[in-house]
Amino acid sequence: MPNVAAVSAPAERKPVDYCWRAIRSAGYGLLIGAGLSGLRGSPLLQTLAYAMPIAMLCWFFIDFGRLGLTHLLTRIGGRMTPQLAGGWPGWRWMIGVVVIGSALGFSGGTAIGDWITGQRSATLLDVHNLREVLSLMLMSLVPAVIITYFFYSRSTIVEQEAAIQTAQRLAAENQLKLLESQLEPHMLFNTLANLRVLIGIDPLRAQAMLDQLIAFLRATLKASRTAAHPLAAEFARTADYLALMQIRMGTRLQTRLDLPESLADVTVPPLLLQPLVENAIKHGLEPSVGGGRIDVSAARDGTDLILTVRDTGVGLTAAPADGDGTRFGLAQVRERLATLYGDHAAFAIADADDGGGGARAVVRLPLPSNQTA
């Protein structure tokens, strides 16, 4: 979600937008000219010869004056605010732009109308034909006010959208921090529970596991404080966790990690694989007398990144439940993916169908736009 201070320049710079606004201004001139022709009883074509140039020039001076002020205020302020992003420099500036633009549009349009019709019309300084001047000024002010109000409404909408996006971004960031703060203690408590059991069975292995746990926590807690890190770092943290578990399980745990070099620098959320590996050990390998193997791999599928955790344990059907803690890590993975990527990411876990037993957890998420090539 974009930061308010970093809102991009308005999309209205596109030539097609200028064309549409010019067409609208010509339409206003046509309507005003037809209305004045009916009210004054003057020939339609003669009235349009003045109304159309006046409306178009009013649009030109007001619109480009507005754009010029927008860019000037952006450069002076050093940032693009939501109001400026909507092409609106503010009423205190636009009042002057409307007055000056209308006067210039009226004078220029009148001169063009005189050239077309061969007549000489009253000017703004001609007090002897005040009624005619006022009626012609109406052709300037009406499109000027309409154009000005259009851009004021547009800037208000852009500003509101930016505020909504900022609020959504902050809510998403807070949600992610909450989910990560829940995940870290869950992993730590599970590891300490395993360590407590090992102390009574093999104190030397328990000491080695404690040393490995300290090193693992030091690296993992540092990584969890970042919004994203390279996939190579995520695999390194996963390898550290598996090394920690191998101290406790010994030969009952075999591992294999497969990270293609081309994907090593892809950025991913931290602590994405560790809950899946922890779940595979706790619900797949530990219930199996002979343990098993865990394969962690990454692959590219078009513009998506595929992360797979495959175990050869007892599978989902035979895995025992553990009360309120069942699949806690999996639920956190789902929520984090939904918060970060919405419908663009997916997570699924099912019994492996390749004849090797166990289960397979698969995470699909979009590759960053600068890393899809």
pTM: 0.51
Asked, for residue 240, whether it belongs to a domain, the answer is yes
Cα–Cα distance, 176 to 341 (Å, whole number): 12
Is the same domain home to 290 and 362? yes
By percentage, how much of the chain surpasses pLDDT 70?
61
| CA dist., res. 291 & res. 110, Å (int) | 92
Q: What is the pLDDT of residues 137-180, one digit of tens each?
A: 665 666 666 666 666 666 566 667 766 776 666 665 565 555 45
Q: Could you say which DSSP state residue 40 is in? A: H
Q: Annotate 302-342 with DSSP letters as a single string.
A: TTEEEEEEEE-SSHHHHPPP-GGGTTHHHHHHHHHHHHHHG
Specify if 68 maps to a domain: yes
Q: Where are the alpha helices (DSSP H) in 41-129?
A: 44-77, 82-85, 91-117
What confidence score (pLDDT) does residue 273 get?
92
Q: Are residues 147 and 214 in the same domain?
A: no
Q: 9 pLDDT exceeds 50? A: no
206 and 161 in a common domain: no
Structure tokens at 159: 């500003």
For tokens 């876990």, name the residue: 349
* Three-state SS annotation for 190-239: HHHHHHHHHHHHCHHHHHHHHHHHHHHHHHHHHHCCCCCEEHHHHHHHHH
Does some domain include residue 186? no
Tokens 């609106």 found at:
88
The position carrying tokens 């000219």 is: 33
Residue 185 covered by a domain = no
Residue 351's nearest CA partner among 361, 336, 339 is: 361
Whether residues 156 and 17 fall in one domain: yes
In this model, does residue 83 exceed pLDDT 70? Answer: no
Residue 99 confidence (pLDDT): 76
Has residue 79 been placed in a domain?
A: yes
**Does residue 82 contact residue 4 with C-beta atoms inside 8 Å?**
yes
Which of 225, 185, 172, 190 shows the shortest CA–CA distance to 337?
172
Q: Determine, yes or no, domain membership for 184.
A: no
Residues 50 and 109: their CA atoms lie apart, in Å, by 6
Number of domains the chain is built from: 2
**Cα–Cα distance for residue pair 203/195, rounded to 1 Å:** 10
> CB–CB of 291/360 below 8 Å?
no
Residue 278: pLDDT over 70 = yes
Evaluate whether residue 223 is within a structural domain.
yes
User: Residue 361: pLDDT above 90?
Assistant: yes
**Structure confidence at residue 372 (pLDDT):** 62
pLDDT in tens, 109-141: 778 888 888 777 666 555 455 566 665 566 566
Q: Name the average pLDDT for the chain.
A: 75
- What is the pLDDT confidence band of residue 49, given thresholds at 50, 70 and 90? confident
pLDDT band at 16 (very low <50, low <70, confident <90, very high): low
Cα(232)–Cα(19) distance, integer angstroms: 50
Pairing of strands 292-301, 304-311: antiparallel
The CATH number of the domain where 227 resides is what?
Answer: 3.30.565.10
Could you read off the pLDDT of 181-207 as tens digits, one per residue? 554 565 667 677 777 877 878 788 788
Q: Are residues 346 and 243 in the same domain?
A: yes
Residue 35's domain spans which residues?
A: 11-168
In this structure, which amino acid lies at residue 352?
A: A
pLDDT at 69: 79
For range 358-363, the mean pLDDT: 94
Domain boundary among 126, 151, 168: 168
Percentage of residues of the chain with pLDDT beyond 90: 17
Model confidence pLDDT, tens digit, residues 258-269: 999 999 999 998
Residue 311: name the closest of 347, 343, 354, 272 by CA: 354
Average pLDDT for 279-304: 92
Say which residue the tokens 């339409």 belong to: 27
Instruction: Give the model's pLDDT for residue 10.
Output: 42
How far apart, in whole angstroms, are the C-alpha atoms of residue 306 and residue 304?
6
